Amino acid sequence: MRHAVVAALALSLCSAAPRVSSPPGAVQVGGCSGTLIYRDLMLTVGVSAAHCAGGPGSPVQVVLPDGRRLAGRWGKRDLGTDLVLFSIPRSDPPLPLARVPAKAPSGEFTAFGRYGTKVLKPMGPELITDNGTGRKISRSGYEVTSGKYRNGDSGSGVYVGGKLLVGVATHGDDDEELYAATHGQLVTFLTTHKVMGPGPEGSDWGDKDRTREIIAIKRRLDELEQAIKSISLKEGPAGPPGPAGQPGTAADTSGLATRLESLEQWRKDFRTTIRIRLRPVKE
């Protein structure tokens, strides 16, 4: 393997990038690029380059292809592979996601970031040296045959066939070479943090026991249980004076009681659904 001295790439938030058509999941995140790859009932999650990120939980701005700007947060990261997660609130309708295949496919390689599409020619595995930190990192190397890899393209998705995410670009050299986290590093990172696959309402590949869906449902149940606890049926203040000889009346709590009852029934129905998913009836 040859060695390359390359610069970690990041970009200030003040720089503008041209708008071009994008593959599923491609977004701008902070001063860099990223790809949305997973959603649950509350969040949409993406992956980018760790050297672009702040600490876990710190805020970051995510820009969608249509120009919308959303408040997001950085998540788990792995400095060894230079990968990081970020999240934004789930939107309705759901945003498009890139699919991460369980096995690396063959086909035409491209990368997409803040500065558009780059057509790539695989060069094989590389051991590079980051000139910012001096760390050696195992990467997939690519020759950039069309387009240029510029500051702000860090975190770009590397795609096969323009749709399947197989890597995350993190470094470049003279605008002619691009280095990315390998497909194996990406799959291991996402699997470790349980964000493989498109989410509970998508396909079931890689999640045949519906574990992620059950976890998302239980999270929602916890929120509902907290809402139920916050509802109290306290006697309200005395009403206005009634006719002579009649005492004031308490505030009507029937609406709250009905709400409480409906929440409890919803919770019971939800738990029944979970039991069915865990123990399907077999003929």
Instruction: Look at residue 177 and give its three-state secondary structure.
Output: strand
In tens, the pLDDT along 184-219 reads 999 999 999 988 765 544 333 344 445 555 565 666
198 vs 206: CA distance, rounded Å = 10
pTM of the model: 0.67
User: 202 versus 60: which is more confidently predicted?
Assistant: 60
CB 97 within 8 A of CB 87: no
Burial of 148 (0-12, 13-18, 19+ CB in 10 A): middle
CB 169 within 8 A of CB 154: yes
| Mean pLDDT for all residues in the chain | 78
CB 139 within 8 A of CB 181: yes
In tens, the pLDDT along 233-266 reads 555 566 565 555 444 444 444 554 555 565 566 5
Position 7 pLDDT exceeds 70? no
76 vs 103: CA distance, rounded Å = 23
Q: How far, in Å, are 176, 221, 263 from residue 228 at the CA level?
A: 59, 10, 7
Q: 198: which residues sit within 8 A by CB, 6+ positions away?
A: 37, 38, 39, 97, 99
Q: How far, in Å, are 14, 27, 114 from residue 172 at the CA level?
A: 22, 19, 14
3 vs 75: CA distance, rounded Å = 30
